[in-house]
Amino acid sequence: MQQTRAKLGPFSLIRSLGAGAHGESHLVRKGRQRTDRVLKILRRADEAGPVTEGRRAALQADIAALALEHPHVVRPTECGVLDLPDTDAPAQALYLLGDFVEGVDIHRFSARAAWSTILEVFASTLRALEALHDAGFIHGHLCAANVFVAGQGPRKSARILDAGLAYEVAETRRLGVRTSWAPEVLEGAPPDRRSDLYDLGCLFFECATRSPLFSGDEGELLAAHRHEPPRSPRTVKRSIPVAVEQLLDALLRKDPGDRPPSANAAIRVLNRSASKRFSVESRARGLSTLLRTRFQDREALLAQLPPLGSAVEGAEEPAPSVFLLEGALGDGRTRTLEAVRTRLRGEKAPRWLQPESP
């Protein structure tokens, strides 16, 4: 029988699944395998020509670090480099390969589902996010396309896609592509577990009310997420349960310190007013870092720096203290520099330039 499917490297393309902030996804089969998989081609506007070894290694490190087996988290199992056809010049792109989830995105699912089932799905999404955070990762780009609903009959539950891509999220943000609407992230702070909860709140609000949290052009949206209080969801749709309204109120606080400190805490907010009692995610590893960093001993690194205190106290005209911190995006440079700043006292604070990655 003649093979009529388009080929891309070792993959036979079945159909396109759509495109997002990090690239485009396709349903494929690899070689002679009979299992459908999802191939995600990672392409950015600033890329041309061959993939750099540094970017490939960073992506492989992210995939290797996400050693998480969880029923509600779909993680990539393979990454590599593909030669791209139909281009004016030879070009390459990184790819991710993962399992195919048979289902629909959470926004489409919630349009007709009963509230009891929607609450189950919301709780399973929070459990998946708790497991991801507990493993030392944030998601950084929670949207309808990255939360699917699967399962038979009333036993529906969420699957979080695109988990563990710390490097890709950082690079996408560097290019100015919006991946988070959390107010503190819009103001320049690095994303953390609480910004994930805000983005999940935006998604839950749209699922519950069938309308976005805010509307307008990008400038209006940026201002609204930073400064405007969110609408009460029950003023948009009266049938929304009180438990959902209280959950959204907690997740959508402007100050991250006012939000639940974890996804498990958000489930407890839901439980306090819901007629059911949803289980929280068990925590086997304790509190995680905000992003998985590739060096583990920040204190040892700080101990190697010159005595910065002399630059802000003591002599009237202290000599400037200068150091250079190098590392790829996702390695923890920003957090290390924040740690340096907290060690200093007085009005002066260290200043630094954020170089673009090669």
- Give yes or no for residue 27 having a pLDDT over 70: yes
Q: Which pLDDT belongs to residue 354? A: 45
Lowest mean pLDDT among 33-37, 244-248, 299-303: 299-303
Mean pLDDT of the region 11-39: 85
DSSP H or E run through 63: helix 53-65
> What is the distance between the alpha carbons of residues 219 and 64, in angstroms, rounded to a whole number?
38
Count CB-CB contacts under 10 A for residue 70: 18
Tens-place pLDDT, residues 36-92: 999 988 876 556 567 778 878 888 887 777 777 888 998 888 888 888 776 555 578
Hey, what are 357's tokens? 């990655």
> What is the distance between the alpha carbons of residues 348 and 33, in angstroms, rounded to a whole number?
61
Q: Which pLDDT belongs to residue 323? A: 59
> What is the distance between the alpha carbons of residues 180 and 138, in angstroms, rounded to a whole number?
12
Mean pLDDT of the region 308-334: 53
Hey, what are 134's tokens? 């507990």
Q: Left if phi > 0, otherwise alpha if psi is -120 to 50, otherwise beta: which for 328?
A: beta
Q: Which pLDDT belongs to residue 33? A: 81
Q: Which pLDDT belongs to residue 275? A: 77
End-to-end CA distance of the chain: give it in Å, rounded: 47
**Which residues contact residue 284 at a Cβ distance below 8 angstroms, ignoring those fewer than 6 apart?**
134
The answer to whether the beta carbons of residues 96 and 37 sit under 8 Å apart is no
CA angle 293, 296, 301 (to 5 degrees): 105
Question: What is the pLDDT of the chain when averaged over all its residues?
Answer: 79
> What is the distance between the alpha carbons of residues 264 and 86, in angstroms, rounded to a whole number?
47
pLDDT band at 233 (very low <50, low <70, confident <90, very high): very high
Within 304-358, where are the H helices?
Answer: 333-343
> Measuring CA to CA, how many Å separate 226 from each of 138, 181, 205, 255, 267?
21, 8, 17, 10, 25
**Percent of the chain, pLDDT > 70?**
70
Tens-place pLDDT, residues 107-139: 999 999 999 999 999 999 999 999 999 888 888
Q: Is 45 helix (H, G, I), strand (E, B) or coil?
A: coil
> Strands 147-150 and 78-84, how do they pair?
unpaired
Count CB-CB contacts under 10 A for residue 43: 16
Maximum Cα–Cα distance across the chain: 85
> What is the distance between the alpha carbons of residues 358 and 356, in angstroms, rounded to a whole number?
6
More confident residue, 192 or 323: 192
> What is the distance between the alpha carbons of residues 279 and 313, in angstroms, rounded to a whole number?
52
Tens-place pLDDT, residues 188-227: 888 889 999 999 999 999 999 999 999 999 999 999 999 9
Mean pLDDT of the region 334-340: 65
**Which residues contact residue 73 at a Cβ distance below 8 angstroms, ignoring those fewer than 6 apart?**
128, 131, 132, 159, 160, 163
Q: What is the dihedral of CA 44, 45, 50, 51, to 10 degrees?
A: -30
- Give yes or no for residue 269 having a pLDDT over 70: yes
